[in-house]
A = this chain, B = another copy of it.
Amino acid sequence: MQSHRSIGLAAALLVSAASAQTFQRLGTCPTLGCVFPPDQADFLAGQFFDIRLEVHAPVNGSEANGLQPDEKFTFTIAKGDGEAKAVTEYFGIADPKLERWNFTWFEDLFAKDAKTPSLVNVTSKAYRRVALYEPGEYTATLTYNNGTKTEATWLVRDLAEVRKTKNIVMFIGDGMTTNMITAARLIGHKSINGKYQSKMQLDKFPVLGHQMTHSIDSFITDSANSASALYTGHKSTVNCLGVYADSSKNPFDDPKVETIAELFYRLTGGHVGIVTTAFIADATPAALTAHTRDRNQYGAVVDSFLNGITNYTWTNWTGPDVLFGGGAEQFYSPELGGITYQGKDYYEEFAKKGYQLVQNKTALEAADSDKKTLGIFTVSNMAKWLDRNVYKDNLNKSLSPSGDESAALDQPGLKDMTLKALDILMERSGDKGFFLMSEAASIDKMMHVLDYDRALGELLELDDTVKATIEKLKDAHQLNETLVLVTADHGHGFDVMGSVDTTYLAAQNVDRKKRSAVGVYQNSGLSQYQETGNLTYTDSNFPKNWDPRYTLFQGLMADPDRRENWSVHKDGPREPAVELVEDSDDYYVNPEDGEGGLLLNGTLPVSNDQGVHSLTDVPVFAMGPCQEKFGGVYSSIDIFFGMAECFGLAKGKPSDHY
């Protein structure tokens, strides 16, 4: 296995490793011959995927070799030590027509400053919707430029085909780290002399794991790529949804891989639910059905929820039973300001396919549980727990999903949406079972804008939702046949280092003196979020006071310029940095944010108005059938393989189901 790979690698290191880092000619393609899926890809037996081959001819830059891109490249596949067969023979498919394009890239930041891009001419072919069935290793070989080879070792994992769970509920706390869970516990749960008097639901899970979230070609991921890894078993490039990134300009022609939702529906007729507190076309929900190199193709994402992939032959898909979230602007008519796929009204498109539509919490609760249901509750991202429950005036700033520019005052939370989704899925799925993905999206969104309090509120809401879900499944006698997973897609570099005396901070006039307001070690004291307040909740754990004198000394490790007063932002989500000159891409501290706080220069490029994702492994909490597959430390793709095996989706022979 090592020997196969080294051919391609040795070439790679000679050519471009020294320069390509901040920018890469094409991720996963260090040589001039590119195979997607690339070397080291793992597959579920029977999982559909596309193959993309590219031959690069750099015109200038460090890799320029004076060659034209090869038009006569060949591609073979060999199983184990068996004979290498032409790809057309191996899959019994016709050879597609040759494609050509070119693209440019920068070799480093100096080249970018100097505006000296490198041009690459490309020849390419794509083979669509193939599958490998027999477990084991395969060698895929691209031969180009008169005998140069790029070899990829592919592995079809040998998994049991017996189904072990009827249902899977997969919770994703977007951007959620262990550090954040610890902080949320501290503000949401009461402790006496170091012993917590109540537990988070996450703390009660029997199995704990860590998953590595990195991209295939960069060590920091975004939510599109990481969700794709969780759902498909294939790591990819930042901004990719269910595809490997090729170098073509078309964002819809990249090589696809089949998702857990598509597989589950195609092979078992299982029912699918998708819930998020983000706009529904956002990456984490999108990656269940969309296949594009560009996560910003929101209209197309919404279309994929309903119609699946229509530009290429792909898998059978007729829409989820449940689709709940924000993002009305991708649904309502362009006449109302909507920005929709092909200008259609997607409320109508869903209605035509038999969906009932709900647009507020009241309607959600009243909706029939026997119908496919589209619930869109606001323009853009949904309101945060803190604004729905404590600083309610901020709801006036949200926009109704109708597109009429009224406020969306009656928004459900993650718990409301998830419990209704369970009602519908349990009623409709019968013996087929269901897969529900429920995302607490704004843990990430609020961490991005350094709004730690709102982020932790979202995390506590997720925990409360998980708790209510387990209770509901238990009441419905489905808990023993449901795998419940809670995980994240990546982290933010967040932690809590002590407390802040906000009264003292505000009373000091000099920044160096303001820093004395911070209490570390023994001076951090106890959590005043539980000790001092009188907010109450029915059977749920949230802070009793969001605005104590002594707050958390918390923060991110990489920031834009900002001012920190470590106090809750009562007027709605924080905006730490702003452009002083419009469209300058040059962000300074927001003069209206963090009043009385400490002025701090950022470390991120000044074009960042927000924090960024981090490297850390993220936790996985598992209970139910197959829970034992999710303990210990592993790659994010193992979540897909664990779920797929638990559902019995590995197929050693071609299925009747397309």
**Residues on A facing B (Cβ under 8 Å):** 5, 9, 13, 17-18, 20-24, 27-28, 38-42, 108-110, 177-179, 181-183, 185-186, 191-196, 200, 202-210, 212, 214-222, 235, 237-239, 491-499, 501, 504, 507, 511-512, 515-528, 531-532, 549-550, 553-558, 564, 586, 598, 600-606, 608, 612-617, 619, 631-635
Contacts and interface: CB of A to CB of B under 8 A. Distances in A.
A618 to B, nearest CB: 8
Contact of A193 (B17, B38, B108, B179): B38
Given A557-B493, A632-B205, A220 B22 contact: no
A194 B177 CA distance: 20
A362 B24 CA distance: 48
A95 to B, nearest CB: 26
Nearest to A222: B521
Contact of A9 (B22, B192, B564): B192
18 contacts: A18-B532, A18-B549, A22-B501, A28-B193, A194-B216, A217-B526, A220-B497, A222-B522, A495-B616, A497-B604, A497-B613, A498-B558, A515-B606, A516-B605, A520-B605, A554-B557, A600-B601, A631-B631
Among A20, A210, A221, which residue has the most Cβ atoms of chain B within 10 A? A210
A599 to B, nearest CB: 8
Contacts of A614: 179, 495-497
Nearest to A185: B212
Contacts of A492: 495
A414 to B, nearest CB: 21
Nearest to A237: B522
A5 to B, nearest CB: 7
B179 A498 contact: no
A42 B193 CA distance: 11
A498 B13 CA distance: 22
Among A38, A498, A499, which residue has the most Cβ atoms of chain B within 10 A? A498
B517 A109 contact: yes
Given A38-B193, A215-B194, A557 B603 contact: no
Contact of A491 (B42, B179, B507, B633): B179
Nearest to A523: B22
A493 to B, nearest CB: 3
Contacts of A633: 200, 202-205, 208
A549 B22 CA distance: 11
B218 A524 contact: yes
Contacts of A601: 511, 600-601
A578 B192 CA distance: 39
B17 A532 contact: yes
A195 B635 contact: yes
Among A202, A206, A523, A606, which residue has the most Cβ atoms of chain B within 10 A? A523
Given A22-B501, A498-B220, A239 B615 contact: no
A512 to B, nearest CB: 5
User: Which 7 pairs across A and B sit closest by C-beta, in order of nearness?
Assistant: A493-B495, A194-B235, A194-B216, A238-B522, A496-B615, A21-B525, A179-B616
Given A237-B522, A522-B215, A631-B208, A550 B22 contact: yes
Contact of A557 (B5, B181, B494, B606): B494
A208 B633 CA distance: 8
A196 B211 CA distance: 13
Given A218-B522, A555-B603, 13 more contacts: A27-B522, A109-B501, A178-B616, A178-B619, A182-B615, A186-B219, A203-B634, A207-B632, A237-B522, A515-B604, A521-B613, A556-B557, A564-B603
A658 to B, nearest CB: 29
A193 B239 contact: no
A625 B195 CA distance: 27
B235 A193 contact: yes
A504 B558 contact: no
A196 to B, nearest CB: 8
Given A521-B612, A523-B23, A497 B493 contact: yes
Nearest to A20: B525
A186 B556 CA distance: 21
A285 to B, nearest CB: 20
A572 B125 CA distance: 53
A604 B220 CA distance: 28
Contacts of A9: 192
Nearest to A37: B193
A554 B612 CA distance: 12
A581 to B, nearest CB: 14
Contact of A613 (B191, B214, B519, B520): B520
B182 A616 contact: yes
Given A493-B495, A603-B515, A615-B186, A193 B206 contact: no
A192 B108 CA distance: 22
Nearest to A39: B193
A507 B108 CA distance: 13
B615 A179 contact: yes
